[in-house]
Chains A and B, each alone.
Chain A
Amino acid sequence: MNRVVITGAGTVNALGHNVPDTLEAMREGRCGIGELEFRDVERLSIRIGGQVKGLDAEHHFNRQQMVLYDRFTQFTLLATAEAMAQSGIEFSGELAAKAGVVLGTAGGGVSTWDDNYRSVYEDGKNRVHPFVVPKLMNNAAASHVSMQYNLKGPSFTVSTACSSSNHAMAQAFQMVRSGMSRAMITGGSESMLCFGGVKAWEGLRVMSRDACRPFSANRNGMVQGEGAGIFVFEDYEHAKARGAEILCEVIGFAMTSDASDIVMPSKQGAARAMSGALADAGIAASDVGYVNAHGTGTAANDKTECAAVADVFGPHADDLMISSTKSMHGHLIGGTGAVELLACIMALKDGVIAPTIGYEEQDPECALDVVPNESRDAKVDVALSNAFAFGGLNAVLALRKI
């Protein structure tokens, strides 16, 4: 089996339009959640989110691109450009023939659906733009990445709600580890912050009206975010041979299904995913210094996740740090694991643990070191990144400092 490393990272999210700005915001414990701005927001009862603001898409894309790129594709392409520039990898010949792109998204082109349903239902129009389908399809972003960077190998999109990105990155990891490909582009993207997207979430009554406070006893729900996180996963020997900068190593993963409930999380499912990732990586629980939590800020997730961590890590659970960066960038649904992987990279590479901000009151059911409110300097050798989706589909990645 080949060792797999990350040689490039890129992002667009509410904390920043690139990785350095995002990591700076995480270090400073800044909150990217604010008032939502889009048409008909006044008809929503939930009006906050981690919205990407100040991104001038027309500046980055020409008219022909704009008619084909939904916002989730725009986020993906901008993040990919950053990751590719950092990695310095170029896809041609045999490398390109086997390299692909595996991305996660839960909703794909949600705002394209929304705009065009509004047009035909509300405005009574009988004709929509011919590119509605290629613009909204869940694989649009992956396909545009493949076209732009000449990726001719396995390319597809994974959709497992809030675990989509982690499932996608697990696939890419396996492909490089097995030798099927020398390098893969992977990560995920989401853009549901439009009237219909938020309205649908409102219905579930799990959204907070004021803030995302994971693990805090007074937490009152999740807050949606949007954006993308994209990475270059590369064979270690390949990266070393071309002198690439290595951000960290991906050492294992596990995927489990709760097989129990469509929305309620299961401690066993989450625990099996974490212990499975440790086993796959061939490491002991005591090696883990940091867990980037799924940490949605809902009553159900946070206590279930903490109980699962306690089960998997035993007494070591009290020694490790676990934080939820959703408190800062919101819950990016299908893109969330990808943006959260940046916090793991920061922990491993820079020795800085991103905090759980908005933490106000201790919850005896979440009695772990959640790195409250302020980032912390700490040396971490191994980090886990958790994602537990609606539908009971869990995916956990394990990463190591290099």
Chain B
Amino acid sequence: MNVSDKVIEIIAEQAVLEPSDVTLDSTLEDLGVDSLGLVESIFAIEEAFDISIPFNANDPSDSDFDISSVKTIIAGIEKLVAEQKS
């Protein structure tokens, strides 16, 4: 499973949706993932890829990790996987 599919699977589980209902342009708000759901998704993604995500729940916009849509999240994860696994 590639990064994109896995991230979508994790977000879909949080949103209690089918992965097919999660599009690249969806925002977490669209999907009904609240702040606790976001923190839990980040944990699940870290576990799945064995990476560390620089995310501060106190101020998500301050983090060097863009959560504005599923697409930006996947791009962020791909970058982190490449950096931390190289």
B24: Cβ under 8 A from any A Cβ: no
In angstroms, Cα B36 to Cα A67, docked, is 11
Closest partner residue, chain A, to B41 (CB atom): A130
Residues of A close to B43: CB separation below 8 A = 127, 129-130
Residues of B close to A129: CB separation below 8 A = 40, 43
A131: Cβ under 8 A from any B Cβ: yes
Residues of B close to A64: CB separation below 8 A = 16
CB pair B40 A67 closer than 8 Å: yes
In angstroms, Cα B36 to Cα A131, docked, is 8
CB pair B47 A130 closer than 8 Å: no
In angstroms, Cα B36 to Cα A129, docked, is 11
Q: Please encode chain B, from 19 to 55, with 1 for each CB lying within 8 Å of some chain A CB and 0 for all others.
A: 0000000000000000010011011001100000000
Closest partner residue, chain B, to A127 (CB atom): B46
Closest partner residue, chain B, to A130 (CB atom): B39
Residues of B close to A67: CB separation below 8 A = 40
In angstroms, Cα B55 to Cα A130, docked, is 12
Expressed in whole angstroms, the minimum distance between the Cβ of A79 and any Cβ of chain B is: 25
Residues of A close to B47: CB separation below 8 A = 127
Expressed in whole angstroms, the minimum distance between the Cβ of B31 and any Cβ of chain A is: 14
CB pair A131 B40 closer than 8 Å: yes
In angstroms, Cα B44 to Cα A131, docked, is 12
Most buried by B among A127, A129, A130, A131: A130
The A186-212 residues at the B interface (CB cut-off 8 A) are: none
Closest partner residue, chain A, to B38 (CB atom): A130
Expressed in whole angstroms, the minimum distance between the Cβ of A214 and any Cβ of chain B is: 44
In angstroms, Cα B56 to Cα A391, docked, is 41
Expressed in whole angstroms, the minimum distance between the Cβ of A134 and any Cβ of chain B is: 8
Most buried by A among B40, B46, B47: B40
The A125-176 residues at the B interface (CB cut-off 8 A) are: 127, 129-131
Expressed in whole angstroms, the minimum distance between the Cβ of B77 and any Cβ of chain A is: 16
Residues of A close to B36: CB separation below 8 A = 130-131
In angstroms, Cα B14 to Cα A67, docked, is 12
Closest partner residue, chain A, to B37 (CB atom): A64
Q: Please encode chain A, from 61 to 86, with 1 for each CB lying within 8 Å of some chain B CB and 0 for all others.
A: 00010010000000000000000000
The A353-378 residues at the B interface (CB cut-off 8 A) are: none
In angstroms, Cα B44 to Cα A129, docked, is 8
Expressed in whole angstroms, the minimum distance between the Cβ of A137 and any Cβ of chain B is: 14
In angstroms, Cα B41 to Cα A129, docked, is 10
Residues of B close to A131: CB separation below 8 A = 36, 40
Closest partner residue, chain A, to B40 (CB atom): A130
14 interchain pairs (CB within 8 A)? A64-B16, A67-B40, A127-B43, A127-B46, A127-B47, A129-B40, A129-B43, A130-B36, A130-B39, A130-B40, A130-B42, A130-B43, A131-B36, A131-B40
B contact residues vs A (CB 8 Å cutoff): 16, 36, 39-40, 42-43, 46-47
A contact residues vs B (CB 8 Å cutoff): 64, 67, 127, 129-131
Known: A127-B46, A127-B47, A130-B39. 5 other contacts (CB 8 A): A64-B16, A129-B43, A130-B36, A130-B43, A131-B40
